[in-house]
Structure 1
């Protein structure tokens, strides 16, 4: 009886996996079809709808989240590959006292219009600022032997994987620049303490 109800259960079990992901600091366990993307897992199984499905091809960046601290496009990653790993979505960026400094800067600089891309922009900017603090160069970094200076050109290059159909780019750059400026004194203090 191929294709009967008994085989359907067996087939589903063979093509699904139990996955445990730490999402925004909480351990979440779900059973998923092995073909389910991280984006669909977040939105449809964990009710975290901040990451948006824009293009579903990794081209727009609306679905950007942080995976083990690095920015990724969640529509391109199968959820089974992140078993045991840590994911931060836009819902996890705020702290106990409210908006993170980056989120507050986005509001202050009106760095969004329709807001559809904003969760991905925020996660990407957070990941990008962490990359800069670790000294990672970009394609436009002029001197690889000195500390990366976060110019507007650097910000635009590093955020190029996140599209904004409303073209709020100047405001996004201003918000990221302000946040980076606020982080710099703390980064200098950490560098001094480690020397």
Structure 2
């Protein structure tokens, strides 16, 4: 009985057909099989968010997703957010606000921030909004309301992405810059 299967993954717009062991995580398929090192292996337990990618438009910890379960999936890494050589607005905002120190968590932070703003825009509630739709003036939190989410809501929605260097003071304003657009 073979433990290897063929899967097709569309990564950052490019289709890849590969044979993987059924236990191969999406993160390991990206890094070890495809050479895409944008998603980082941090904790390898889904606790730090360094491996965050968009999987069919939704953010996931790629260290917890098995590649075989996502045959045919569309995967976008932080590297794939840039279009035609132009950085994504979130990438530019992170640079402008110096929202990184060592940079290890930065790709996961950026991908998560892009997805988080889309979730808020779609009205997905957070613990801060207490079930109210997201948006200017949405409930709860002590932070100022800027753009579509409060600072407290940004912090809560980004809580699955950890930064060992504690660059949070610059990460929140970078996300808020994009949220105001």
TM-score, normalised via structure 1 length: 0.84
1:142 Cα deviation from its structure 2 partner: 4.2
Residue in structure 2 matching 1:61, options 46, 49, 69 = 49
Structure exhibiting the larger radius of gyration computed from Cα positions: 1
SS of the residue corresponding to residue 20 of structure 1 reads: strand
Once residues 48 and 179 of structure 1 are traced to their aligned partners in structure 2, the CA distance between those partners, rounded to angstroms, is 26
SS of the residue corresponding to residue 75 of structure 1 reads: coil
Point out where structure 1 has 5 or more consecutive residues left out of the alignment.
1-10, 183-195
- Equivalences for 1:2-17 in 2 at 5 Å? 14-17=2-5
Contact 2:125-2:133 at 8 Å conserved across structures? no
- Equivalences for 1:1-195 in 2 at 5 Å? 14-142=2-130, 144=132, 147=135, 148=138, 149-182=148-181
The 1:157–1:28 alpha-carbon spacing in structure 2 relative to 1, beyond 3 Å, is same
1:132 Cα deviation from its structure 2 partner: 1.1
Q: CA RMSD in A?
A: 1.3
Aligned residues: 170
The 1:146–1:165 alpha-carbon spacing in structure 2 relative to 1, beyond 3 Å, is closer
SS of the residue corresponding to residue 163 of structure 2 reads: coil
Once residues 179 and 52 of structure 1 are traced to their aligned partners in structure 2, the CA distance between those partners, rounded to angstroms, is 23
The 1:45–1:27 alpha-carbon spacing in structure 2 relative to 1, beyond 3 Å, is same
1:146 Cα deviation from its structure 2 partner: 6.5
Point out where structure 2 has 5 or more consecutive residues left out of the alignment.
139-147
Once residues 7 and 131 of structure 2 are traced to their aligned partners in structure 1, the CA distance between those partners, rounded to angstroms, is 43
Segments of 4+ moved more than 6 angstroms: none
TM-score, normalised via structure 2 length: 0.90
Contact 2:120-2:134 at 8 Å conserved across structures? no
